[in-house]
């Protein structure tokens, strides 16, 4: 009997001890959960979607079994080509298992890549790519502390839309830009004004209380029904004229920014405050281009990663910054109107941020490799040449000094900046045959004339000066060989300009014609003289 009491008290004491120790363990676990963001507090604060909350409460552990069945059904539908049913199943799977990010990533990738390429028409392809993006946006909203979903979403922008591997890639860029410019209202929105505008309906009502003239105007227009007004705004791309005429310019601007930021959040899940942060961190980006979105999502993903460190997201930012440097500005034939004649040119605003990120990676042994050292050197060289061509010679000189001191590049130590830049082109000139150098020159001249057409006269003049230097250098090297003599420079320029005038829209053609009118007239006169001389020679031979 005594043994039983002893055992009982021993078990009781052990239980009390375990419970007492559990208090300390729970406190420590709470700290770990909070520090490492193992629970999505922001997601819980905003409230889960109703269907997710319902399925969690009603189905409990059976959600996983149902999701597995739907997953198998989704694979069967794809094999049969029943893609539209697949959209609904994917949505159900995500709602049933919102934390199963691997499944969401697979489904988003599957739509953007596999299903899209099964379609022939580019508009059909775009719809599937866009649906894949939307699915990944939902996955990010439900898994805000999972860096993988940010990377997968950014990858679709960076690789599928930004790269040139898909033969519909120009259509993707054009359509994305057209949809975004409709949301923005213009090519480059005032992000600070958007960020300062009310973010919620409650904040808008605080800004426009019941006796405010703007709210009275809203009441007179449609009884203050903001949801209906938002629908009109999306349909028309702006405030109805009847309402706008009754508002002051300031109030109309506030209301316009409120609806546009709401629209951007609803369709693209972007927030102006974060866009401002991204621009501050990496340079002014063109927010019509997919690389900007890839940088945005990788940047936000790092903010939600414990320690703000993730190799995949860091590399995604670096790769997208390099792509932005190479072709990160979209020039449009007509202001704020997107067409398939858009032109992508370098964005030199991101050079400093790209250099800083390269240096950061090179200092961290776990990231740094010999490949990164080589990439860093190549990026510096490209930056120097681009800045030089675009008449930013002071900035080019600073990077040239950096190339000398921080890399093993030999040419930079024995050449001046002018010699170094021209040498980058001299290599092509020395190694190229007559046909190659002619094509190279025509390419530079084409870019120069095209930049005139898009209104970037300063960049056009810089490219023209480079073309002339290349032309003169080649002419000096081959002055004694008649068979590889290039046509007169003015003739090559006029011929290139005429090709643009004949094949590009009037907005571009008219600018080129007005700027290069004198060269065009000279070419026409020379052509007429050659034709006359040829005709006279034929008559003499006939007599």
pLDDT at 45: 36
CB atoms within 10 A of CB 47: 9
Whether the full predicted model's pTM is greater than 0.95, yes or no, is no
Of 106-110, 215-219, 307-311, 413-417, where does the model show the most confidence? 215-219
Give the chain's mean pLDDT: 82
Radius of gyration of the chain (CA): 31
pLDDT at 311: 87
Instruction: Report pLDDT digits (tens) over 477-510.
Output: 766 655 557 788 888 888 888 888 988 889 999 9
Q: Which two tokens stand for residue 297?
A: 């999502």
Which pLDDT band, with edges at 50, 70 and 90, does 33 fall under? very low
Residue 314 has pLDDT above 50, yes or no: yes
Measured between alpha carbons, how far is residue 432 from residues 64, 116, 240, 429 in Å?
63, 41, 60, 5
Closest CA to 303 of 319, 315, 314, 318: 314
Residue 390 or 187, more confident: 187
Residue 93 or 468, more confident: 468
Closest CA to 189 of 244, 278, 261, 295: 261
Closest CA to 426 of 379, 465, 375, 477: 477
Q: Which two tokens stand for residue 166?
A: 């898909």
> 142-156, 177-191, 203-217, 477-491: which has the minimum mean pLDDT?
477-491
The domain locations on the chain are 2-35, 44-143, 432-542
Which pLDDT band, with edges at 50, 70 and 90, does 52 fall under? very low
Q: Within 13 Å of residue 402, how many CA atoms lie on the same side as its CB?
A: 19
Residue recorded with tokens 């791309």? 237
**What phi, psi does 450 have (nearest 5°)?**
-70, -40
For residues 235-243, average pLDDT? 95
pLDDT at 187: 95
pLDDT at 150: 96
Instruction: Report pLDDT digits (tens) over 333-351.
Output: 888 999 888 999 999 999 9
pLDDT at 276: 97
Measured between alpha carbons, how far is residue 103 from residues 76, 169, 429, 538 in Å?
16, 26, 52, 77
For residues 106-127, average pLDDT? 89
Task: Provide the percentage of residues in the chain whose pLDDT is more than 90.
Answer: 43
Phi-psi region at 166: left, alpha or beta (left = phi > 0; alpha = psi -120 to 50): beta
Instruction: Report pLDDT digits (tens) over 405-415.
Output: 988 888 888 89
CB atoms within 10 A of CB 424: 14
For residues 104-114, average pLDDT? 84
pLDDT at 456: 87
Instruction: Report pLDDT digits (tens) over 520-537.
Output: 777 666 666 565 555 555
Query: What span, in angstroms and rounded, lies between the C-alpha atoms of 355 and 35?
Result: 31
Closest CA to 424 of 395, 394, 389: 389
For residues 360-384, average pLDDT? 82
Cβ burial 455-486 (10 Å sphere, 16+ → b, else e) = bbeebbebbbebbbbbbebbeeebeeeeebee
Query: What span, in angstroms and rounded, lies between the C-alpha atoms of 316 and 158?
Result: 8
pLDDT at 357: 93
For residues 251-278, average pLDDT? 97
- Specify the fold of 44-143: 1.25.40
Three-state SS at 331:
strand
pLDDT at 320: 97
pLDDT at 363: 83
Residue 119 has pLDDT above 60, yes or no: yes
Which pLDDT band, with edges at 50, 70 and 90, does 42 fall under? very low
Taking CA 442 as the corner, what is the angle to CA 440 and CA 446, rounded to the nearest 5 degrees? 120
Query: What span, in angstroms and rounded, lies between the C-alpha atoms of 108 and 106?
Result: 6
Residue 377 has pLDDT above 50, yes or no: yes
């Amino acid at each position: 009997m005594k043994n039983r009491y002893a055992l009982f008290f021993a078990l009781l004491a052990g239980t009390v001890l375990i419970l007492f120790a559990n208090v300390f363990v729970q406190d420590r676990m709470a700290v770990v959960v909070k520090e490492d963001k193992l629970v999505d507090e922001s997601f819980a604060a905003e409230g889960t979607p109703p269907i997710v909350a319902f399925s969690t409460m009603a189905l409990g552990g059976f959600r996983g079994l149902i999701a597995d069945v739907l997953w198998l059904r989704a694979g069967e539908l794809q094999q049969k080509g029943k893609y539209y049913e697949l959209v609904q199943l994917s949505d159900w799977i995500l709602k049933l298992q919102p934390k199963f990010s691997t499944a969401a990533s697979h489904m988003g990738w599957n739509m953007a890549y596999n299903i899209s390429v099964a379609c022939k028409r580019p508009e059909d392809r775009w719809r599937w790519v866009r649906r894949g993006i939307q699915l990944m946006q939902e996955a990010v909203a439900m898994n805000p502390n999972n860096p993988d979903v940010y990377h997968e979403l950014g990858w679709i922008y960076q690789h599928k839309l930004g790269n040139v591997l898909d033969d519909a890639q120009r259509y993707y860029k054009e359509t994305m830009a057209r949809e975004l410019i409709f949301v923005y209202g213009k090519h480059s929105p005032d992000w600070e004004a958007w960020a300062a505008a009310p973010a919620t309906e409650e904040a808008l009502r605080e800004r426009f209380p019941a006796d405010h003239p703007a709210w009275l105007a809203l009441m007179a227009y449609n009884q203050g029904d903001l949801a209906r007004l938002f629908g009109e705004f999306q349909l028309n791309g702006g405030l109805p004229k009847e309402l706008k005429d009754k508002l002051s310019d300031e109030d109309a601007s506030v209301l316009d920014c409120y609806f546009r930021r709401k629209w951007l959040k609803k369709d693209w899940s972007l927030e102006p405050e974060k866009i401002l942060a991204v621009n501050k961190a990496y340079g002014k980006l063109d927010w019509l281009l997919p690389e900007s979105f890839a940088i945005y999502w990788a940047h936000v993903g790092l903010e939600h990663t414990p320690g703000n460190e993730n190799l995949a997201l860091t590399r995604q930012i670096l790769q997208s910054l390099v792509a932005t440097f190479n072709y990160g500005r979209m020039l449009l034939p007509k202001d704020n109107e997107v067409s398939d004649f858009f032109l992508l040119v370098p964005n030199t605003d991101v050079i400093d941020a790209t250099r800083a990120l390269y240096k950061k990676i090179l200092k961290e042994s776990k990231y740094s490799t010999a490949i990164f050292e080589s990439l860093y050197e190549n990026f510096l060289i490209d930056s120097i040449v681009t800045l030089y061509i675009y008449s930013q010679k002071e900035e080019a000189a600073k990077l040239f000094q950096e190339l000398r001191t921080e890399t093993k590049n030999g040419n930079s130590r024995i050449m001046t900046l002018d010699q170094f830049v021209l040498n980058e082109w001299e290599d092509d000139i020395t190694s190229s045959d007559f046909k190659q150098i002619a094509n190279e020159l025509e390419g530079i001249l084409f870019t120069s004339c095209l930049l005139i057409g898009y209104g970037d006269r300063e960049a056009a003049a810089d490219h023209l000066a480079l073309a002339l230097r290349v032309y003169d250098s080649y002419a000096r090297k081959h002055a004694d060989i008649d068979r590889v003599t290039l046509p007169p420079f003015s003739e090559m320029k006029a011929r290139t300009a005429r090709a643009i005038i004949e094949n590009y829209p009037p907005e571009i053609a008219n600018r080129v014609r007005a700027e290069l009118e004198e060269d065009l007239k000279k070419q026409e006169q020379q052509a007429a003289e050659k034709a006359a001389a040829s005709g006279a020679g034929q008559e003499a031979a006939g007599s």
